[in-house]
Chain A
Amino acid sequence: MSDSRNFVLGVYDDEDVLLSAVRKIREAGVKIDEVYSPFPVHGLDDELGYKKSRLPIAAFMFGALGTTLALTMQIWMLGVDWPMIIGGKNHIAAPDFVPVTFELTVLLAAFGMVFTFLLVSDLKPWKDPKMLDLRITDDKHVMAIDLGKNKDKADGLEGLLKDSGAIEVNDKEVED
């Protein structure tokens, strides 16, 4: 199967122009496939209508798992499996379990969240990034519009992008 998609790429060199361009182009009824940037542009996700990431929820759940595992491990090892009197304290000396519980909570929350992020964003060492323009990782913001999804708007698109402040408008065919 050799599907290919045709993109119109609007190239911008200023993040504030880009933000207003995204607004104008979406108001004109054009569907933007994605915007690529060399650095995080604040407010771009709102302009594109992206929902807030749910990764913090994942972090919380992994953290809760870490707390549970740490407490279960310590209580079971020192309280159930091999109870010993250490320094005259209770077998389950709760305050002593705080540091390890805290550390494992943080460890699982951090690792769980980062791996979830890599998974949902499909980031992996052998992935071909399929860069639409090599200047994206340097200094240009690129707005990609899929022609297949905007058949009725195709004619005026170049003018619309130029008017919104794009310094260049390019065509690009991408093999899927």
Chain B
Amino acid sequence: MQVEASVRKPLITGGKTVHDVTEDICRQVEGKPTKLWKMAFTAAVGLFIIGFMAVAMTLWEGIGMWGLNKTVGWAWDITNFVWWVGIGHAGTLISAVLLLFRQKWRMAINRASEAMTIFAVICAAMFPVLHMGRPWLGAYWALPLPNTFGSLWVNFNSPLLWDVFAISTYFSVSLVFWYLGLVPDFATIRDRATGMRRKIYGALSLGWNGAAKTWSRYESVSLILAGLATPLVLSVHTIVSFDFATSVIPGWHTTIFPPYFVAGAIFSGFAMVLTLMIVTRAVFKLQDYITIEHIELMNIVIIVTGSIVGIAYITEFFISWYSGVEAEQYAFYNRMQGPYWWAYWSMMTCNVISPQLFWFKKIRTSIAATFILSIIVNIGMWFERFVIIVTSLHRDYLPSSWAMFSPTIYDMGVYLFTFGLFFTAFFLFAKFFPVINMAEVKSIVKSSSEKKPA
């Protein structure tokens, strides 16, 4: 028997029964798409098509279409890559780490955030793939395949190759974790449906019948997967940070990068979860499942990780001075006072100052304030990556090769393309898949649901 302390706030409001959970979540899967959904979906597909023209031009004409130059060889592409991978951290963190910590509030939000993770990682992968220029040959550069260059293998000493393994493992393990969670819920939809829908969800549900033996195995698989996914979540952004930290560029060559990147990733991931969940709960009327309590708890994670990021910025700055290395000192002086000062101060305002507003209970329990701040955090996190990448590259050791970077319309187009891709996928998910993990939420209805007023 599961017992919750009486001081804990209920995780499900409105006196829901187990059957209500099925009805409330299946409603949008079974109903006709609403006008609002159709409009949003059309907009996302439109963005996808417009952005695709930039992708096509990049592939046709080459990377020269982007604003990169001899000095700044990495700019928007890697910024966007790290930004999307960072966003992709929240989903598996919520479902794996919070499962190990027995945090039951994860149950209402894990499904949608895992979906977000998967789509965000796909968007992230677009950038290194497109930056290859000729991605159809990319498998030879990225994977240890036998080849006709005399079996010259990929370089396992390179963090860029570690990234290939880290991102693809993270993607596939997250996908499996997500799908396994969906199986019992697909069975619920299957058993309510007839005709074609029954066939499709029947195939997706893998013949799930809810047997106790299967549930027992399922639970042990989930626990082990969570145990495997936890170090995996932390490893992904650690390895992404190695892309920079193992180089000798001033501003990159620091040991603080792995924890600092991981904290930043969780920070931006939770912000994106909030942005999406606030809209989803309003559109699908899920206020009883994704409560103010959930939003407040996520905001607390944002204060913690946002403060870690803030401390990391200050530490980095202090160490660059304390190290006595002139190039390092200049890199940080240049970030604050150089030609990209506006990017640095946007980052500081959005990432260090704005999350501190969540110390006020009124702000962290306000839907409107949370929504605005969650977007500001992700703008700030984009600037963080831009600052790290571009300001370090544009003025390095050799002043004669100093240069500026400005994006072309194709840089922007490819970025828009990933937004189109992300929202198209997310809207499809929200319409055709159960956005809340029904089976998990049902298991806490008895212990954590608000009692119906007698």
Query: Do A and B associate with each other?
Result: yes
Cα A96 to Cα B69 in complex, Å, equals: 30
Asked if B207 contacts A129 (CB within 8 A), the reply is yes
Asked if B153 contacts A124 (CB within 8 A), the reply is no
A81 contacts B by Cβ under 8 Å = yes
Total A-B pairs, Cβ < 8 A: 202
Which residues does chain B contribute within 8 Å of A167, judged by CB atoms?
A: none
Stretch from B118-126, B269-277, B317-325, B436-444 forming part of the interface with A: B436-444
Which residues does chain A contribute within 8 Å of B159, judged by CB atoms?
A: 99
Cα A44 to Cα B443 in complex, Å, equals: 13
Give the residue of B188, B202, B215, B242 whose beta carbon is less than 8 angstroms from that of A40.
B215
Asked if B156 contacts A96 (CB within 8 A), the reply is yes
Stretch from A2-10, A135-143, A154-162 forming part of the interface with B: A135-143
Complex: chain B residue closest to A105, CB-CB: B228
For window 44-85 of A, CB contacts with B under 8 Å fall at: 44-45, 48, 50, 52-53, 55-56, 59, 63, 73-74, 77-78, 81-82
Give the residue of A14, A87, A121, A123 whose beta carbon is less than 8 angstroms from that of B157.
A87
Give the residue of B19, B153, B172, B217 whose beta carbon is less than 8 angstroms from that of A117.
B217
Asked if A138 contacts B207 (CB within 8 A), the reply is no
Stretch from B55-63, B176-184, B392-400, B425-433 forming part of the interface with A: B176-184
Per-residue CB proximity of A97-116 to B under 8 Å, as 1/0? 10110111011011101100
A137-B215 contact in complex given A59-B224, A113-B221, C-beta closer than 8 Å: no
Residue of B165, B172, B202, B219 most packed against chain A (CB within 10 A): B165
Q: Is the interface of B mostly helix, strand, loop or mixed?
A: helix
Cα A139 to Cα B224 in complex, Å, equals: 27
Asked if B215 contacts A93 (CB within 8 A), the reply is no
Asked if A107 contacts B19 (CB within 8 A), the reply is no
Asked if A110 contacts B225 (CB within 8 A), the reply is yes
Give the size of the chain B interface in residues (CB under 8 angstroms).
68
Cα A31 to Cα B431 in complex, Å, equals: 43
B18 contacts A by Cβ under 8 Å = yes
Cα A22 to Cα B188 in complex, Å, equals: 24
A134 contacts B by Cβ under 8 Å = yes
A131 contacts B by Cβ under 8 Å = yes
B5 contacts A by Cβ under 8 Å = no
Which residues does chain A contribute within 8 Å of B446, judged by CB atoms?
A: 14-16
Cα A14 to Cα B208 in complex, Å, equals: 21
Apart from A81-B153, A96-B156, A103-B165, 15 more pairs, CB < 8 Å = A16-B446, A44-B216, A50-B213, A56-B220, A78-B156, A86-B157, A99-B242, A111-B173, A118-B206, A129-B190, A129-B207, A137-B190, A138-B191, A138-B192, A139-B21
Interface residues of B (CB under 8 A from A): 1-2, 17-19, 21-22, 144, 150-157, 159, 161-162, 165-166, 169, 172-173, 176-177, 180, 183-184, 187-188, 190-192, 202-221, 224-225, 228-229, 231-232, 235, 239, 242, 439-440, 442-443, 446
Please give me the 10 A-B residue pairs with the lowest Cβ-Cβ distance, nearest first: A127-B207, A139-B18, A45-B216, A99-B162, A123-B206, A77-B153, A39-B443, A39-B442, A137-B188, A103-B165
